Amino acid sequence: MFDKRVVFLPVDERFCTRDYFLLLARAANINVVTPPKSYLGAKKTPPDIRRLLKWLDETVLPGDYLVLSIDMLVHGGLIPSRMSIETLDTLKERLGLLERLKDRDVKIYATTTVTRTPFYNSAEEEPDYWQYFGQDMYDLSRLLARSFRGERVHRSVIEKMGKIPVHFVKDYLVRRVRNRKLVSLVIELVERGVLDFLNLVLDDNSKESISLAESEIHQARVDSLGIGSKVSIHAGADEATLSLLSRVLSESLGIVPAFEVRYSSPEYKELVPPYEGSPLHRGIYNHIEAAGGRVVEGEVDIVLLANNPEEGLDSPQQPSVPANTVPYERFFSDLKAAGRKIKGIADVKYTNGADNYLVKELLNSGLDWLETNYSAWNTAGNTLGTVCAHSIVQFLGQKGLLNLDRSKIKELQAIFFIEHWAFQSNVRQRLLVEAEKKGVRPWTVIPVESWAEEFVRKELEAFAPPVRRALEMDFEIERLFFPWHRSFELGLYVVAKR
């Protein structure tokens, strides 16, 4: 049984980055120590990093497992990592805490992010000038990525730079170079044994992105140092600490769960999902290995079933009735054939939400949700990392190596259905329509937040009965809120009625 303490430092204060981890750990009866939410800042407002470093220094004890985001440790969060003006020397000094903690005989599992470059004009999560020059910055970054790969694009780079004020270009490039050097320092910590494992994740990238080009540079360095077994470079971000949690458990218990992967549309497994730069099947293998598992042929412990896309569509674009039901027939045939093995369902057919047709069929299939799990949020990487971690925790519980709380694991699954399916694929669209009638722009809910919370709560109630029946658990939504005061994501807690 796993009886160690886990000290957890999330990438930011959001429900998906902090509470998913805490809820999964709680369901497995793992003792997690984490700083108060008030210590973590708020979106673009960074926390008091000195206080965070002091908290870590005073909290971590010999024998602990430390699961942390380096973006939070050195920058103060994911969004601050894209905006802070700290020098590399300052970041390196903060990173030095990990070496001092390692001297206490602590296992350190870390994640850090290759900085993204969004392809649209919006300063929602970027510096203010991204509102006006975001598309131009993205085009410039693509040219730079091509130059990394040896193409001659000098004239095109100069022409593109001419369309953007020079001080904005300098700001972007200085920060990008600084963050790339920081990743190199983190890789050195792996090579020196300070970090036991590193998830190096690519947040919102594409085949032509500078993020992917930089990741290739980092991968070459990892390969040259011979530390490939201790570093996973793949698309994702918000789910990365979940993968680290399951890896901590599997490695500490000496178990490497064996996975089989099945696709609803195997002929499309080479498709590159939206916001990613590599084929889906490669991403699946990377996420399984990062989470502590391996893909094998023959007898397996876990079957990962991917409801995979045939084209890159967002959840609101899905048809009310699928034109072709053959992939679903294949999916449910594979689901039945998996028997009593752990079954992880990665619904990545659409970005930013669930496949309505699939979920309705799942909820009427009489599945045992103590040996099955489902996720469908945001990008393919976000969903895959969540499903892999959830599946490994369920498997270790099935083997008697974790003391799973049956009620808590079902509460977590209820949250995933309510948030990923009910809200992201359905209620969110209604919220946007009704909020616009009140004069609120589609993204934010700040002017009408109390109304929006009550509206969403009432709308979600219509989706709760089939989830209650499927999970064989009567639950109620205890609390509901918008983590960043916007319509994109939801935070909610459910509690089983006794």
pLDDT tens-digit readout, 323-353: 999 999 999 999 999 999 999 999 999 999 9
Q: Which of 426, 390, 420, 430 is nearest to 489 (CA)?
A: 420
Q: Mean pLDDT over all residues of the chain? A: 96
353 and 487 assigned to the same domain = no
Please tell me the predicted confidence (pLDDT) of residue 443. 86
Please tell me the predicted confidence (pLDDT) of residue 68. 98
395 and 439 assigned to the same domain = no
Report the distance separating Cα 157 and Cα 138, nearest Å: 12
Q: Out of 143-147, 222-226, 384-388, which region has the weakest mean confidence (pLDDT)?
A: 143-147
> What is the CATH number for 292?
3.40.50
pLDDT at 402 over 80: yes
Q: Give the total number of structural domains in the chain.
A: 3
Query: Among 208, 234, 254, where does a domain finish?
Result: 254
pLDDT at 150 over 90: no
429 and 355 assigned to the same domain = no
342 and 440 assigned to the same domain = no
DSSP bridge partners of 444: 486
107 and 194 assigned to the same domain = yes
Alpha-helical segments (H) within 61-109: 70, 78-83, 88-102
Q: What mean pLDDT comes out for the span 159-171?
A: 87
pLDDT at 145 over 90: no
Please tell me the predicted confidence (pLDDT) of residue 497. 86
198 and 64 assigned to the same domain = yes
pLDDT tier for residue 159 given thresholds of 50, 70 and 90: confident
78 and 196 assigned to the same domain = yes
Please tell me the predicted confidence (pLDDT) of residue 441. 87
Please tell me the predicted confidence (pLDDT) of residue 99. 97
- Taking the model in full, what pTM does it have? 0.97
Q: What mean pLDDT comes out for the span 239-262?
A: 98
pLDDT at 160 over 90: no
Distance, CA of 103 to chain centre? 30
81 and 195 assigned to the same domain = yes
70 and 218 assigned to the same domain = yes
pLDDT at 204 over 90: no
Q: What mean pLDDT comes out for the span 459-470?
A: 98
Amino acid letter, 452 = A
Query: Among 199, 230, 254, where does a domain finish?
Result: 254
186 and 314 assigned to the same domain = no
Q: Which of 423, 285, 437 is nearest to 346 (CA)?
A: 285
> Which H/E stretch holds residue 137?
helix 130-148
Each residue's pLDDT tens digit, 78-128 = 999 999 999 999 999 999 999 999 999 999 999 999 999 999 999 999 999
Please tell me the predicted confidence (pLDDT) of residue 257. 98
Q: What mean pLDDT comes out for the span 420-444?
A: 95
Print the domain residue range for 481. Answer: 412-496
Query: Among 229, 254, 279, where does a domain finish?
Result: 254
Please tell me the predicted confidence (pLDDT) of residue 248. 98
pLDDT tier for residue 442 given thresholds of 50, 70 and 90: confident
Please tell me the predicted confidence (pLDDT) of residue 149. 85
pLDDT at 369 over 90: yes
CA 464, 470, 471 angle in degrees (round to 5)?
90
pLDDT at 148 over 90: no
DSSP state at residue 268: G
Report the distance separating Cα 479 and Cα 487, nearest Å: 16
Q: Which two tokens stand for residue 213?
A: 């080009």
pLDDT at 174 over 80: yes
160 and 204 assigned to the same domain = yes
Report the distance separating Cα 1 and Cα 396, nearest Å: 9
Please tell me the predicted confidence (pLDDT) of residue 163. 86
Please tell me the predicted confidence (pLDDT) of residue 324. 95
243 and 265 assigned to the same domain = no
